[in-house]
Chain A
């Protein structure tokens, strides 16, 4: 299986995000990346759209639903969000969406910071295999993986995709 070119994916995400913001009349979106890959994608888009202000960073370690199975991630780095996300339009960004559990955890965490006006979901890749009713609003590429196959984003300089 061949993997798509990352720059082309970012071009496509930028284009789709601009259309999404126009369509929903969002003037000052808050980009929030999920550690670690989502933050890299968010940084790229923040630059391409020349958005003002800091982007948000979510570390969902304290919100994972598999804590009882796998325990706490040994390298928790913490979340960094602006003082208030109240009534902000958030673009939640991750590298790969699979089961949807990461996004659920991320949304639970966001709501502990305040009540955003809306949350849209943007992912670089969608590999299917969903276990929850959560779908991206904007997606760079859809990919179907064979059993046991894992796709991984490495970065931040340069961003590369690999299959294993």
Chain B
């Protein structure tokens, strides 16, 4: 397989799929954030739609359930004036024995222009991007443990809007890093965009062994890792991990790694608190922090729509310029 960073770019370096933040240049990531910024202003108007993708058909292809991510992609597509089809594959054709490629070819036969793909297997979106007919854009909405690039970019946008820039910020990501595609995408984006330091904090069982190679520094105690942070990103704790004996119990986890006002006081006084949602109150984060002044969790949701509009518009644009060039 070709490396995803090549598959997702046109010959002249424009985005045509969005599969991962890994390997994308600082200029391109910044272009995504700038475009998203412009879409935020359109979201504040009386009419929230722009006509950019009028007549295009976007298919939400979710092999794994996620109401929230699917809804924000749906809203983003609608606000770009595209038509959108939601396919909950977890419950439909593939469970009747249809293969992944059969499903795709059927959807292509309906003249789809873009697939937003979520899949439990790492590399699924990349695989589809390599198989799909030229002209069709693939957006990765989360693949296995590998990547969740739109979530990472909305987090970058959140940091940039609340801290003015990403350059020079000390960022701590807390929780289950091992199973988190969000953390992986965040680490790549943060390093490319010039964060001063990326820290990961969690129990040894939930930190990947190669974390230093990814460009993050491992901490096992909140007391050490939160010191002088500008940004604290809490990850959602997947309850099913508890059954695999990777974690003692929810209350034990909260005691050690839950974000409380007391622990947050170790970070810089103007540090912001982020969480990709949905939050488990009293497991990763206490309500006083989640609803507190330093929390930007709900802003993240609004920025998520703008970021998804940006990558959808940019990928469609890349596909079209490539098609015209041929």
CB contacts under 8 Å to B, within A60-99, are 61-63, 67-72, 74-80
Q: How many residues of B contact A (CB 8 A)?
A: 24
Identify the stretch in B94-102, B294-302, B313-321 within 8 Å (CB) of chain A at 4 or more residues.
B313-321
> What sequence of 0s and 1s flags, for each residue 74-86 of chain B, a beta carbon within 8 Å of any chain A beta carbon?
0000000000000
Known: A68-B320, A78-B38. A112 touches B50 (CB 8 A): yes
CB distance from A104 to the nearest CB of B (A): 11
Given A76-B35, A80-B41: A70 touches B47 (CB 8 Å cut-off): no
Within 8 Å CB of B51, what residues of A? 62-63, 108
User: In whole angstroms, what is the CA distance A70 to B319 when docked?
Assistant: 10
Question: A72 near B38 (CB under 8 angstroms)?
Answer: no
**B306-326 vs A, Cβ < 8 Å mask (1 yes, 0 no):** 000000011011101100100
In the complex, chain A residues whose CB is within 8 Å of the CB of B49: 112
Contacting residues of chain A (30-84) with chain B, CB-CB under 8 angstroms: 59, 61-63, 67-72, 74-80
> Nearest B residue to A114 by beta-carbon distance?
B46
Query: Is B121's CB within 8 Å of the partner chain A?
Result: no
Q: Is there contact, CB below 8 Å, between A77 and B38?
A: yes
Query: Which residues of A lie under 8 Å from residue B227 when comparing CB positions?
Result: none
**A72: nearest chain-B partner, CB-CB:** B317
Q: Are B52 and A71 interface neighbours, CB within 8 A?
A: no
Instruction: Identify which of residues 54-75 in chain B touch chain A, using a CB-to-CB cut-off of 8 Å.
Output: none
Q: Which residues of A contact B321 (CB under 8 A)?
A: 70-71
Which of A71, A77, A112 is within 8 Å of B317, CB to CB?
A71
Hey, which chain A residues are within 8 Å of B314, CB to CB? 72
A78 and B45: CB pair below 8 A?
A: no
Q: Given A62-B38, A78-B41, do A72 and B52 touch, yes or no (CB 8 Å)?
A: yes
The CA-CA distance from A112 to B45 in the complex, in Å, is 7
User: Could you give, for residues 20-47 of chain B, a 1 whenever the CB lies within 8 Å of some chain A CB and a 0 otherwise?
Assistant: 0000000000010011011101100111
Across the interface, do B45 and A113 meet the contact criterion of CB distance under 8 Å? yes
Do A72 and B313 contact each other (CB < 8 Å), given the known contacts A62-B51, A62-B52, A108-B51? Answer: yes
The reply to whether A112 and B41 contact each other, CB–CB distance below 8 Å, is no
Kindly state whether residue B163 has any CB partner on chain A within 8 Å: no
Q: Could you say which of B35, B46, B318, B320 contacts A113, with CB atoms under 8 Å apart?
A: B46
Residues on B with beta carbons closer than 8 Å to the beta carbon of A74: 14, 31
Complex interface: chain B residues within 8 A of A69 (CB):
320, 324
Beta-carbon nearest neighbor of B45 in chain A = A113
Best-surrounded residue of A68, A78, A108 (most CB of chain B within 10 A): A68
* Minimum distance in angstroms from A49 CB to a CB of chain B: 26
User: Which residues of chain B come closer than 8 Å to A80, judged between CB atoms?
Assistant: 41
What's the Cα separation between A21 and B148 when bound, in Å?
Answer: 54
Which B residues are in CB contact (< 8 Å) with A111?
47
Contact A71 B41 (CB under 8 A): no
Using known A-B contacts A112-B47, A112-B49, determine if residue A79 contacts B324 with beta carbons closer than 8 Å: no
Complex CA gap A75/B47 in Å reads 23
A11 to B50, CA, bound (A): 36
Q: In the assembly, what is the distance between CA of A80 and CA of B45, in Å?
A: 11
Which chain B positions have C-beta within 8 A of A70? 321, 324
Collect the chain B residues with CB atoms within 8 Å of residue A112's CB.
42, 45-47, 49-50
Tell me whether A62 and B317 are in contact (CB under 8 A): no
Q: With a CB–CB cut-off of 8 A, which chain B residues contact A77?
A: 34, 38
For the complex, give the distance between the alpha carbons of A104 and B39 in Å: 20
Given contacts A61-B38, A68-B320, 6 further A-B contacts (CB under 8 A): A59-B38, A67-B52, A76-B34, A77-B34, A78-B37, A113-B47
A selection of 6 A-B contacts at a CB cut-off of 8 Å is A63-B50, A67-B320, A74-B31, A75-B34, A79-B38, A108-B51
